[in-house]
Structure 1
Amino acid sequence: MQTRYSRQILFPPIGRSGQERLGSSRVAIVGMGALGTVLSNHMVRAGVGFVRLIDRDFVEPSNLQRQMLYDEDDARAHLPKAMAAYEKLKRINSEVNIEPVVADLTPFNAESLLADADLVLDATDNFQVRYLINDVCVKHAIPWVYGGAVSATGTFTAIRPGKTPCLRCLFPEAPKPGEMPTCDTSGVIGPIIHIVASYQATEALKLLVGASESFNPYLEHFDLWNNQHQQVRVSKARRPDCPTCGVRQFDFLHADTQEGLAVSLCGRDTVQISPAADASLDLDRLEKRLAPLGKVERNKFLLRFHAEPHTLVAFPDGRVLVQGTDDVSVARSLHAKYIGA
């Protein structure tokens, strides 16, 4: 520890005792895209003892401009992001226990994936998942750090259940589809990713080492291209009538998903279909069934079936991405035709 973390130990707010606390800490990162690659890099290099990487997607060429852990080989192999990140990170710090999870965060699995963490880091790209993170973290009193970036702008804040406003205090309603820019509609530059994720990572270190005197009381917003930085003090924004931290009804964690989830992924011309309960797909059997019908590509993590003009990407956990449409009914029809019930 003395050699690897010596410069971090020399930083007085961390010191040797703080480093020991990092080494015994557990962090879950939701999303291994742009923010997630930076956050996981910081957590692993800082010596956090256990880091869980949760992501539903696989590496594509358009990711490489800003998702710093991935390379062209990962994109050619269609590697799941959680696995590609794991392969890089385990070579960076073999002392850290890194757990890759190729899955979508849903009401079915959110508590099992997050409730044993000391801290959760948000690296997602949509508010529905953030509200789900917020539900779990408030229910189990787990601190978490919200962050988002698009174009050249970014936002972050640290949330400590019982001490700060929760996400639903700050944003009672999710933005409606089409109201907010996304990376796929407005683009994004790499530097804003590093700024937002580095602030998130710093708040994470403060929380993990117990530096309560340094906690940030603001919701921070950056416009990097125009060199603007805004701080909104939110320390007194807790709402007694907040459905999550006030009433504790956890709407997103207890959402009715008995028919399964079909979600159009904003800006990606893709619909994700998730099973209604814990399920699995036998990719070997599926490959044999689909091979006579069209081109099938396989690796050990996923199967891609080309049913022109659409592509179906199937995962062992039962999820299927239907690429080439944003129409949920079309996606369900293709799923029923090629995957089945």
Structure 2
Amino acid sequence: MQGRYSRQMLFAPIGEAGQRKLEDSAVCIIGMGALGTVLANHMVRAGVGHVRFADRDYVEQSNLQRQMLYDEEDVRQGYPKVVAAEKKLSKINSDVRLEAIVTDVTVHTVDALLEGMDLVLDGTDNFQTRYLLNDACFRKGIPFTYGGAVSSRGMSAILVPGSTPCLRCFIPSADSGGQTCDTIGVIAPVVDIVASYQAVEALKFLVGASDSRRNSLVTFDLWQNRYFEMKLGEATPGCPCCQLKQYPALDTTEQDSTISLCGRSTVQMTGSGPLDLELWRERLAPAAVEVTANAYLLRVELPEGERLVLFPDGRVFVQGTDDVVRAKTLYARYIGA
């Protein structure tokens, strides 16, 4: 322990006692894109004993500008992000227990992902999933580090059930005006800073430095040289999550199995059960322009111009369209109702 973490242990607020607390801790990172890769890098290098991470997507060339754990070989192989991340992180610190999970984070999967975790780190790129994490964390009493990055702007806060308001208290609406990394872009330095804010609050919490925890939402614009802190204050009266304990994002009656991934020209469809990729390769090859596969996914180039990406857990990406009706038509044509 002394050699690897010596410089971190020389930092008095952590020290040897704090390092042992990190080794005994478990964190879950949801989303292994730009924020998630930086978060995972920090947690693994810091020696957090158990790092679980989940993501539904695979590595594409456009990710390489800011998603620090991936390289061109991951793109060529079509690796799921968590698989590529695990390969890199296992070479960084073999003492850390890594748990890479290829899945869509939904109301049906979120409880299992959070089971046994001390802290959840937000690496997502949409507010629907953030509200799901917020509600699930506050129901379970697990702290949640929020982070967001788009364009040259970033924001971050740590939300602790019983101590701070929840995400819904200061961001009540999921309407972002269509501004995402895929519509207005993002520069990599803002990602690093947001994730570093999240990571340092995570370390404070895990080592028990509650007096040093930041009780504010930080927002900044690197390009315009602006910085602002807003005190979290009191919870919003009538908040459906942290006050009324209703947790609306966990209401299964409002879940849709069809999701348009904003700015990606991709619609995600979820079927009724797992998919045998080898079987589907045989079924789809005669009708496809090209079929490529690895152990984690199957990519099918369609004669209509779109692409299907099949995952073993039953998910199918219809790529090349934002039109949900069009995606459903292609899904029904090739996969079935």
- Do the structures match in fold with TM over 0.5? yes
Which stretch shows the higher mean deviation, 236-245 or 315-324?
236-245
Give the AA of the match of 1:283.
L
Aligned to 1:285: 279
Give the AA of the match of 1:270.
T
Aligned-pair CA distance for 1:40 = 0.1
Q: Deviations over 1:246-280 (max 9, x none)?
A: 1111111123257x51111111111011236xx31
Aligned to 1:253: 250
Q: Deviations over 1:271-307 (max 9, x none)?
A: 011236xx31000100000011111110000000111
Q: Which one of 179, 182, 188 corresponds to residue 181 of structure 1?
A: 179
Aligned-pair CA distance for 1:115 = 3.0
Specify the SS of the correspondent of 1:27.
strand
Give the AA of the match of 2:296.
F
Specify the SS of the correspondent of 2:8.
helix
Q: What CA distance in whole angstroms lies between the structure 2 residues aligned with 1:2 and 1:257?
A: 51
1:262 aligns with 2:258: yes
Aligned to 1:195: 193
Give the AA of the match of 1:338.
Y
Aligned-pair CA distance for 1:230 = 0.7
Structure 1: gaps of 5 or more residues? none
Q: Deviations over 1:184-216 (max 9, x none)?
A: 111111111101100100000011111000111
Between Structure 1 and Structure 2, how many residues are aligned? 335
Q: What CA distance in whole angstroms lies between the structure 2 residues aligned with 1:251 and 1:115?
A: 20
Aligned to 1:81: 81
Aligned-pair CA distance for 1:240 = 3.3
Specify the SS of the correspondent of 2:18.
helix
Aligned to 2:202: 204
Aligned to 1:310: 306
Q: Deviations over 1:74-110 (max 9, x none)?
A: 0111110000000000000000000110111000110
Aligned-pair CA distance for 1:69 = 0.5
Specify the SS of the correspondent of 2:4.
coil
Specify the SS of the correspondent of 1:3.
helix
Q: What CA distance in whole angstroms lies between the structure 2 residues aligned with 1:171 and 1:275?
A: 32
Aligned runs of 1:50-199 on 2, under 5 Å? 50-175=50-175, 179-199=177-197
1:296 aligns with 2:291: yes
Q: Percent identity?
A: 56
Q: What CA distance in whole angstroms lies between the structure 2 residues aligned with 1:256 and 1:83?
A: 32
Q: What CA distance in whole angstroms lies between the structure 2 residues aligned with 1:254 and 1:49?
A: 33
Alignment RMSD: 1.1
Q: Which one of 310, 317, 321 corresponds to residue 321 of structure 1?
A: 317
Structure 1 consecutive aligned stretches of length 4 or more whose deviation exceeds 6 Å = none
